[in-house]
Structure 1
Amino acid sequence: MAISEGISGNPGAVNTKLGLGLISKLTRLDKLGIFLGGLWVGNGDYLFGGGIKPRSWNFNSVFILDLQIDSDLAIRLPGGRLGVSYLRFNGQPANSAAGIITGYDGLTQASPLVRDELYQLWWRQSLFHDKLIVRVGKTVPTYDFNNVVKPVPVNSENLSIPAVTGLIYTPAFVNPSILGNLPGYYNSAYGVTTTFAPLPQLYFSYGIYDGNLARGVQTGLKTAPEFTGYYFQIGEAGYAWLLGQNELPRNIGAGGWGQTGRLTAGSGPPTISENGVGGFYCFGAQRLWFQHPRIDNSGLSAFYQFGINDSSTMLADKYFGFGITGVGLVPRRSADSIGTGLAWSWLNRPPGSGRRSNEAMLATYYQMHVFSGIFLQPTFTFIPNPGAATDVNSATALTLQAMVLF
């Protein structure tokens, strides 16, 4: 399968269908409505200076195998789809070495850093000509909520914004004002997601999930849900449209969320606690310029993110980020992309944490399409104020990443 556009810096965090389905195509299982494919992403982080462990290497890799069955083709049940995926992660604490709270390398997350997971197990049912969609089971809610990376939906591929950015830092995949509460990569969770789309460019989504991630439970490692009074629920609305005579696509999304249960923070005494938290976020993307209008999709686009919450125990209570992406700007390199982004988080400072009040990251990357589903990507990241402690020096890191979709 040919790829003509750039991809996300971590497809496993934002893409509903993982990989290209090459296994099912080679075995002709696709004729039976079966998708079988996946991805492997590996990277090495070198911390040039600053942080907590300067002049150090950290290596990470994730492998995801994805199986999806179209019930219409397989058993003549219209509108249904079954999804199952397996995840294997091997990694090292690159973000801790840099002293960063929110994560400059989004591939490595919380411990344990060697894990095997039932990443997804869900049933998706489409009703009323795809206007109502319900997904039940173990899912990755960042596919459906606060997903600034997903392409902007338009009718023509020549007008679309492809993967809005290839940035690899964690805020590109989950807003830091929800980080640690919203299930996602690699901590998926059981729950229900409902989306109502009265128009192709307009949607309203609501989801409720196992919320034990907020109290430190690694929900991705759980094969069954836990119902202990901790629930995470979220609602979002989004709209996409074309702007001006050049039909520049853009989208906007906004949502609110709530977390139940008693949350604590701090290494006191004293510690702080609160019973339930909530917040608001918004995001958007805008095509800025077409290099070859109505001919191909090359050009420039931009995105922005914002989030705020009422919590004093979560990692951050406010966040703002933005970035610019260029796609297909190099002649005969239509699937290459280049981009830069800024992620700025205002951190909570519970007793004994020693954290800074805020943390910023500036990252720049070039994503090179090698062939088929193989991409190489160097990313340069500068963190002027790592948030782990006030005495941690500014950090500079280079990440070399390879991505293989199959």
Structure 2
Amino acid sequence: MYLGLIFSVLASAAGAQQPADTAPPSAIGTQASPQKVAAISSNPAATTFSTGTGWLGRTLGLKEEWGIRLGGLWLADTNVVVAGGVDNGGWTNNSALFVGLGVDAEKLVGWRGAAFGFQFLQFNGGNTNGEAGAVTGYNSLIGAPPFHRTELYEAFYEQTMIKDVLKMRIGRQLPGADFNNVLRPVVFDDVSENIPSVSGLLLTSVFVNTSMIGVLPGYYNPGNGVTVNFTPTKSFYVNLGVYDGNLARGVQTGITPPHFNGYYFSIAEIGTNWVLGEGRHPGQFAVGLWRQTGLLEARGISEEGTGGFYLFGSQRLAHRVNPHVPSSGITMFYQFGANTSQTRPVSQFYGAGITGFGLVGGRDHDSMGMGVSLSRMNQHLFVRPTELLLQAYYQFHVVSAIFLQPTVTFIPEPAASPNVPSTLTTTLRLTVLF
């Protein structure tokens, strides 16, 4: 099973009263200080390529004006199958530690427009989604085995050809930050108008559209290849990418070297953003196409390549709904995807969710939300026609850059087997950025 992506804390504002570039920032992305951390996704290092808050580097005496940034992220959770599932009463613990180094070569040695990014991952976990019978994943921190792995997660060179307009990234990277990223925040010069990470849901589907499970590289199986970002304006972008596509034949690319043997994954996405009405409510929309080459097989079925498309969007619906929190608001998102494959687990996907920011008292960094994920299963591979996941969470800002998030998920008919009963799970997720 292919998991969702990991992401970082919000980038700070850019562009006077206009949406910031929707394409991901450079390896040395500007980050909010720990005191300014807003509501985050459930899985903070894929919205930008800069891990954590940079506290680790500053503590070690590294100055970001040198062009060197060292940060990290630790995610830990406990999951319990409260009712139903494959293992009623079963529980699992998961831990993912990320340490990232970003080098702005222009600041460091005068290499104009150049940057380098490196990130390491140590993951230790259990078969969380398997115990619930969830094929599409209610907890995005868990992917395919092995569940204990040490990885060189990212190692890339990025070159800006035209500042703020055209750049290219080569090497080991996370395509999910550039493509199919419904959680990408919309950022303004006036921080009170920002949309933080669009949701804190744990669902795999908010990180990777389930119709792309097993083909789109990302957490914890990165892609080795090339990404091109073209942003002619602050409200429009085109992203293109070509990567090692061996993930589609079951290779765990996170713990193996690159393979260039006829299996390639290519993808293109165009997107735009806007503000609506007197309240200047930001929104965004994107559509993408993808193609996987090579001989694909599953349970005796084979096909020569496959492809599909997807779309997603988000819109702030209300702002300043809590008089105690000027930046409070309500945001919604939606997703769709489909493919032509006979070997992928999901043929069509529909997703949506709603998120509230700063709605309780004076807790301006808290968020809460609900989401739905509906996947039409490949009937060549599964008996049940669909898998529906319903999830709700509350994300508490504890202190500094530490968050605690209880989450409840209900799965009426898990797709792993027609004999698995309705499943109710609980998750308690701790997120620490440093």
Hey, what's the Cα distance between the residues in 1 that align with 2:192 and 2:234? 17
Q: Which residue in 2 is equivalent to 1:273?
A: 302
- Among 150, 161, 172, the alignment partner of 1:138 is 172
Which among 207, 210, 218 is matched to residue 252 of structure 2?
Answer: 218
Residues 240 and 268 of structure 2 are in contact (CA less than 8 Å); yes or no, is this contact kept in structure 1?
Answer: yes
Confirm whether residue 288 of structure 1 aligns to residue 317 of structure 2. Answer: yes
The answer as to 2:352 corresponding to 1:318 is no
Q: Which protein has the bigger strand share?
A: 1
Structure 1 equivalent of residue 293 of structure 2: 260
The one-character-per-residue Cα deviations of 1:286-331 (angstroms, maximum 9, x if unpaired) are 0000026998321100000000000010010100000000001122
Q: How far apart are residue 169 of structure 1 and its match?
A: 1.1
Whole-angstrom CA distance in 2 between matches of 1:272 and 1:147: 30
Q: SS of the residue aligned with 2:137?
A: coil
SS across alignment from 2:254: helix
Match of 2:106 among 72, 75, 85: 72
Structure 2 stretches of 5 or more lacking a match?
Answer: 1-33
State which drifts further: 2-11 or 159-168: 2-11
SS at 2:198 equivalent = coil
Residues 37 and 401, structure 2, Cα contact 8 Å, conserved in 1? no
Structure 1 residue 341 displacement after superposition:
0.1
Picking from 85, 108, 113, the partner of 2:119 is: 85
How far 1:159 sits from its partner (Å)? Answer: 1.6
From 19, 22, 35, the equivalent of 1:2 is 35
Please, which of 162, 174, 188 is the counterpart of residue 208 of structure 2? 174
Matching residue of 1:373: 401
Q: 1:133 deviation in Å?
A: 1.2
The question of 1:388 aligning with 2:416 is answered yes
**Runs (5+) with no aligned partner, structure 1:** none
Aligned to 1:207: 241
Quickly say closer, same or farther: Cα 1:94–1:366, change in 2 above 3 A.
same
CA contact (8 A) 2:160 2:168 kept: yes
Whether the aligned pair in 1 keeps the contact of 2:321 and 2:359 (CA below 8 Å) is: no
Q: Which one-letter code corresponds to 1:45 in the other structure?
A: N
Q: Which residue of 329, 337, 340 maps to 1:299?
A: 329
Matched, 1:249 2:277: no
Written as runs of structure 1 = structure 2, the 5 A alignment for 1:47-66 is 47-66=81-100
CA distance in 1 between partners of 2:188 and 2:336 (Å): 24
Structure-to-structure mapping, 1:160-171, within 5 angstroms: 160-171=194-205
Deviation at 1:389, TM superposition (A): 1.1
TM-score, normalised on structure 2? 0.90
Question: So what's the TM-score if we normalise by structure 1?
Answer: 0.96
- Structure 2 distance, partners of 1:145, 1:202, is 14
> Which residue in 2 is equivalent to 1:348?
378
Q: 2: CA distance between counterparts of 1:216 and 1:13?
A: 22
CA distance in 1, matches of 2:74, 2:84: 30
- What SS does structure 1 have at the residue aligned with 2:205? helix
Kindly state the Cα deviation for residue 28 of structure 1 after the two structures are TM-superposed.
3.2
Query: 1:248: how far off?
Result: 0.4
For the 8 Å contact 1:153–1:201, the answer to whether it is kept is no
Q: Is the 8 A contact 1:5 1:328 kept in 2?
A: no
Does structure 2 retain, via aligned residues, the 8 Å contact 1:8–1:14? no
Instruction: Tell me the distance in 2 between the aligned counterparts of 1:162 and 1:124.
Output: 26
Partner SS state of residue 212, structure 2? coil
How has the CA–CA distance of structure 1 residues 58 and 15 changed in structure 2, closer, same or farther, with 3 Å as cutoff?
Answer: farther
Name the counterpart of 1:157: 191
The one-letter amino acid paired with 1:397 is: T
Question: Does residue 358 of the first structure (1) align with residue 386 of the second (2)?
Answer: yes
Are the counterparts in 2 of residues 207 and 235 from structure 1 also a CA contact under 8 Å? yes
Q: How far off its partner does 1:120 sit?
A: 0.1
Whole-angstrom distance in 2 between the partners of 1:81 and 1:233: 24
Distance 1:403 1:71 in 2: 30
Residue 158 of structure 2 aligns with which residue?
124
The answer to which of 23-32 and 235-244 deviates more is 23-32
Q: State the 4+ residue runs in structure 1 displaced beyond 3 angstroms.
A: 12-15, 292-296
Shift of 1:349: 2.9
Q: How far, CA to CA, are the matches of 2:364 and 2:201 in structure 1? A: 18
Identity of counterpart residues, as a percentage?
A: 44
Give the distance between the partners of 1:393 and 1:5, measured in 2 at CA: 38
Question: Alignment RMSD, CA only?
Answer: 1.4
Contact 1:52–1:97 under 8 Å retained in 2 = yes
1:4 is displaced (CA, Å) by 4.1
Supply the distance in 1 between the matched residues of 2:37 and 2:100 (Cα, whole angstroms): 22
Q: When the two structures are aligned, how many residues end up with a matched partner? A: 399
Listed one character per residue, the Cα deviations across residues 328-385 of structure 1 (whole Å, up to 9, x for unaligned) are: 11222111000000000001133xx454111000000000011111000000000001
